[in-house]
Structure 1
């Protein structure tokens, strides 16, 4: 298993497995190689489980047709029409303001929220059921209050969407195949 280590200006170490089943570790500049090795040993099972999951998603994605540029463009147009309305609907329920909304074609994220309050959403959300789109919208809006995935963050999500765990599970189980349709 190949592991890429990226040293950057951050406060903690984060491990991710990307859509190609590659392991990426982002670590503060002052983190020693020994500390990184220790973290890798502690997180070995999590890493293996996630690499295996992504590899299965890659195999499942091979059975579906890749999206053409025209199809991606149409999904983008649909998302520009649909998603801002959902953001507008849920923002008062979460109790937040937001900045600009951008729709993108992304291979690794369904959405993101910047510290300035700008929201980004993946056009591939339009291939998911409406309740999944709503989950991603609420998730990103809750980051306006909590820029992390702490207990407090998930409590905010649950307050708006009591069944968020089922929605999140659906996305976890099916999202990889959808994202795998991007070439």
Structure 2
């Protein structure tokens, strides 16, 4: 169950679930997310958020500074086209290489710039990859390729899925962590 509260300074997205504790998260765009138990009242959520005010302000300040730096670093249309072209040459070779190792097949490969995903795999085996991957290392690209090809075996993120990824790329957690911590910097380079 989801809802939104508006405080004087910023909106708070509330996600209610079967959890027993409350937790606060700030996304890279400054969105506040509070995960709470189903039974939690909005008044209690606001008290919790107010108790974390110093932490929130500190993190929002860092985010504003990062955004100011990133806005001056947009990719040009030519740079984006070059990334798409380079990715269209490079990524299919990695897909082919790892598909053979993993014993999986796939259909079409598409490359484009995306603001929310590094890759995806459809039920039909169509693979999509973000051209911005070309701004990362080969290890990161390989991780995303292996991740999407693993969906050809397991179309979810269950323990079995992660076991498949780990079997091909034992240190995948390093690349996954890097993308979580730094990916937004690359995505924010796409002009609005």
Report the TM-score when normalising by structure 1. Answer: 0.74
Tell me how far apart the structure 1 counterparts of residues 180 and 118 of structure 2 sit (CA, whole Å).
11
Q: Could you tell which deviates more after superposition, 55-64 or 143-152?
A: 55-64
2:35 alignment counterpart? none
Is the 2:3–2:15 Cα contact (8 Å) retained in structure 1?
no
2-structure distance, mates of 1:101, 1:43: 42
- 2:94 aligns with 86
Q: Contact 1:111–1:119 at 8 Å: present in 2 too?
A: yes
Distance (Å, rounded) in 1 between the aligned partners of 2:93 and 2:110: 13
Q: 1:121 aligns with which of 125, 129, 146?
A: 129
Please state if 1:39 is matched with 2:17.
yes
Change (3 A) 1:60 1:76: same
Structure 1's 41 and 154: CA in aligned 2 closer, same or farther, altered over 3 A?
closer
Q: What SS does the corresponding residue of 1:112 show, helix, strand or coil?
A: strand
- Measured after TM superposition, the shift of residue 172 of structure 1 is 1.0
Taking a change above 3 Å as real, the CA distance of residues 120 and 151 of structure 1, as seen in their structure-2 partners, is same
CA-to-aligned-CA distance 1:125-159 (integer Å, 9 cap, x gap): 00000100000000000000111000000000000
Task: Give the TM-score taking structure 2 as reference length.
Answer: 0.70
Q: For residues 66 and 151 of structure 1, do their structure 2 counterparts lie closer, same or farther at Cα, with a shift above 3 Å needed?
A: same
SS in 2 for 1:67: coil
Match of 1:29 in 2: none
Q: Aligned in 2, Cα 1:117/1:44: closer, same or farther, shift over 3 Å? A: farther
Unpaired runs of 5+ in structure 1? 5-20, 24-35
Return the match for 1:60 from 66, 76, 84.
Answer: 66
Greater Rg over alpha carbons, structure: 2
Deviations for 1:29-74, whole angstroms, at most 9, x for unmatched residues? Answer: xxxxxxx9742986852xx31x344436675243130111111000
When residues 144 and 53 of structure 1 are mapped into structure 2, their CA distance, relative to the original with a 3 A threshold, is same
Q: 1:177 aligns with which of 161, 173, 185?
A: 185
RMSD value, Cα: 2.6
Instruction: Give structure 2 stretches of 5+ with no counterpart.
Output: 5-10, 31-61
Q: Secondary structure at the match of 1:66?
A: coil
> Relative contact order, CA 8 A, sep 6+: which one is greater?
1
Q: Does the residue aligned with 1:62 lie in a helix, a strand or coil?
A: helix
